[in-house]
Structure 1
Amino acid sequence: MSSDTFTYSVIIIALIAVLTFGARFVPFALFSRGGRPPAVIQYLGNVLPPAVMVLLIVYCLKAVSITSGNHGLPEFVSIAAVVLLYKVFKNNLLAIVGGTGLYMFFIQTAFFGA
């Protein structure tokens, strides 16, 4: 590795470290007045997590064909399992891991070759 390449690599790593630290530090610097965050920040904090989940669901289901193959059965059963696990246990991690595990079980065993 030449010295120029090494220098550029060190500069890039340092820049990424500074930007990452800054992205973590800025919210604390802006909103640590002891009061409540601005209303728009509270609104976004309430609205964005469900919106991101909906986008992820739409993205994951975009290639599912309900008119051919297994008709999306593993996907829809796994989604139902995630909803049920979350409603019963109120645990995001359990719901995600349970639904993912069920989906993997379905596509590896029950719907293998479908």
Structure 2
Amino acid sequence: MTVPAVGPAQVPQDAFLLDVREPDEWAAGRAPGAVHVPMMQIPQRTAEIPTDREVVVVCRVGGRSGQVVHYLRQQGFDNVVNLDGGMYAWAAAGRPVVDGDGGAGTVI
């Protein structure tokens, strides 16, 4: 199955950003408004993923999030796409990265 992907510039303003990284990565820096569900918790927490708007799944570079997109599509989610290049690409494109306090975050 081909995993659909979008680049940072193509992420819709109203997209649901699903961050599947580990807690330490999440704490260091994330996209504002993103929702954190670590990759290994996805099967138990699919009810938290909306079906009424585009869901952009993100990790550090796009590998883990691509696996999550593949899994969710197998489960019938046709509204999920991978963030090509992950948080590294997001930050490199000049998109904001914040920490848990809303200050400047770092991608690790």
What is the TM-score normalised by the length of structure 2? 0.24
Q: Which has the higher helix share?
A: 1
What is the TM-score normalised by the length of structure 1? 0.24
Q: Which has the higher contact order (CA 8 A, sep 6+)?
A: 2
Q: Which has the higher strand share?
A: 2
Q: Which one has the largest radius of gyration? A: 1
